[in-house]
Structure 1
Amino acid sequence: MAHTTEDVLAGLAEIVNEETGVPTENVTLEKSFTDDLDIDSISLMTIVVNAEEKFDVKIPDEEVPNLKTVKDAVDFIVGASK
């Protein structure tokens, strides 16, 4: 099932909030996971695993370093879900 950018952003914001306590309204496309949202690599891996389950996609480990911003992750998930 294909996901829209809006669906993925909302779902990702919920996952980030559950893992880190960052308010969902702070999780926007232009935010960097590490610089803006202060998410460490361990938390990011948990977010990736939860996103894989939520959106039924596979995010290869070698792809994770490329997911620097929320938009990077949203675009990857939208593309992988088609």
Structure 2
Amino acid sequence: MLASAESTFPVDLAIIPPSTIMSTALRRSVFNIARTARVVAAPNRTTTLVRSAFVYKSYSAAAGLSREDVQTRVLDVLKSFEKVDPSKITTAAKFTDDLGLDSLDAVEAVMAIEEEFSIEIPDAEADEITTVQQAIDYIVNTPEAH
């Protein structure tokens, strides 16, 4: 992050909770906007590179999640969505057809699952996850999931 002797940008990135920034693309966008705004607001000031203020979870070893644990947590994440009828949630349920989510809601569901398991699913792979079972299978086969 670029910093100057006097901050002229109205939002300090250090105060944004990491949980509100869900994707790498969003983090990059926030970073670039902040950097551009500071440089534009103070073009004649000397700037220095400072370490990013984003906090990441780290673990000492793989959690070794069982399929049952993953299934329970994925179902719980989906139950937290207001638009989803909890009685319709099964492992075979499709996000759009069975749970009644539109495409944006389905993306939000996958993002919530990413957050629950502290992983980032690449966009191309996330687009392929259209059922609860596919989400469970992806998490089970991802060693970084916790």
TM-score (norm 1): 0.81
Using the alignment, how far apart are the partners of 1:57 and 1:81 within structure 2? 10
Query: Quick check: which has more Rg, 1 or 2?
Result: 2
The equivalent of 1:11 in structure 2 is: 73
The equivalent of 1:22 in structure 2 is: 85
Unaligned 5+ runs, structure 1: none
Displaced runs of 4+ in structure 1, greater than 2 A? none
Using the alignment, how far apart are the partners of 2:116 and 2:97 within structure 1? 25
Equivalent of 1:57, from 119, 139, 142? 119
RMSD: 1.7
TM-score (norm 2): 0.49
Taking CA–CA contacts closer than 8 Å with sequence separation of 6 or more, which of the two structures ends up with the larger relative contact order? 1
Describe the SS at the equivalent of 2:107: helix
**How far is 1:22 from its partner?**
2.2
> Greater helix share, 1 or 2?
1
| Count of aligned pairs | 81
Q: How does 1:30-69 map to 2 (within 5 A)?
A: 30-69=92-131
